[in-house]
Every structure is written in C-alpha cells, then in structure tokens.
C-alpha cells in the first residue's frame, strides 16, 4: 500500500516474506506474534499452521485444567466465564448446582426463595439473594 505523506510514497512489505504489498493486505492474528501486515499467500499459510496447531492441543477444563477426553460442555452465559471455554462434566455439574443454589435459595438462612426476593447491598458483602426476613435483619444491623 502506498501512503501519500507530504508528497512522499511509503511502500509496505509483507512481515514474513518481504514481498511488496499491493491493494490486498491482511492483519495477522493476535496469537501469531507477528507485527506488520501480510500478503495473501503468507496469511493463508499462517492461518493453516495456526489451525493445525490448535487441533493438536487437547481441550482443557477452564476450572480444574484437566484434559477433556470426550465432549466438553460449554458454560452457561450467566456464569460469566470467558467465551470459548469448556468445562469437564464434574466441574459443569458443580458450577450448575452452585449457581442454582445462589439463585433459588437465601444466601444467609438457606431457605427457598419465593416469588419476591431481595438483592443485598454491596456494603454487606453477601453473594446471592436474600429472603425478606434476612434482608430486614441485615438492614436493622446497620
């Protein structure tokens, strides 16, 4: 690509092969550790190398780092884990029961929450929801 900067033309070259870049230039992937732009053939080759390398590395659980032998399970979006991560069966089940408990039961007394529940104030440092009785007792302690 030629840039016009005060009448001068700047020529860009491929970061891998050094070939002068014309109209078509490609940005390398962040995980490739290449600075600069690539020509079409180098971009194709690097993409192919990266895909082969990715297939060779085994999937690992995002929580316990165990190698996932069979199909890994994708975490639910509510769990706020990074996208594209996988969980082994035991970690998925544990995370699911923990989340279910956090949503459906009171964080202090453990009673089942009904239709109405209360969010604790951030100053209380309580994770989960509260029933009315526990929220009122927490409020009276202030």
Res 58: pLDDT:
65
Which pLDDT band holds residue 33 (cuts at 50, 70, 90)?
confident
On the question of pLDDT at 104 being above 60, the answer is: yes
The mean of the pLDDT values for the chain is: 83
For the stretch 50-82, pLDDT in tens is: 888 766 666 788 888 787 777 778 888 888 788
Give the list of residues 6+ apart from residue 81 with CB closer than 8 angstroms, or none. Answer: 62, 75
Res 105: pLDDT:
92
Put simply, whether the predicted model's pTM sits higher than 0.95 gets the answer no
Both tokens of 107, joined, read 């964080």
């Amino acid at each position: 690509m030629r840039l016009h900067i005060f009448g001068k033309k700047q020529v860009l070259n491929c970061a891998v092969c050094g070939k002068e870049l014309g109209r078509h230039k490609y940005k390398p992937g962040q995980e490739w550790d290449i600075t600069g732009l690539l020509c079409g053939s180098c971009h194709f080759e690097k993409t192919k190398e990266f895909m082969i390398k990715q297939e060779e590395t085994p999937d690992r659980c995002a929580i316990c780092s165990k190698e996932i032998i069979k199909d890994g399970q994708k975490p639910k979006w509510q769990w706020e884990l990074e996208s594209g991560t996988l969980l082994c069966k035991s970690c998925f089940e544990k995370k699911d029961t923990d989340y279910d408990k956090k949503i459906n039961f009171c964080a202090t007394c453990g009673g089942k929450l009904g239709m109405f529940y209360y969010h604790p104030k951030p100053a209380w440092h309580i994770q989960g929801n509260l029933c009315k009785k526990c929220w009122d007792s927490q409020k009276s302690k202030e």
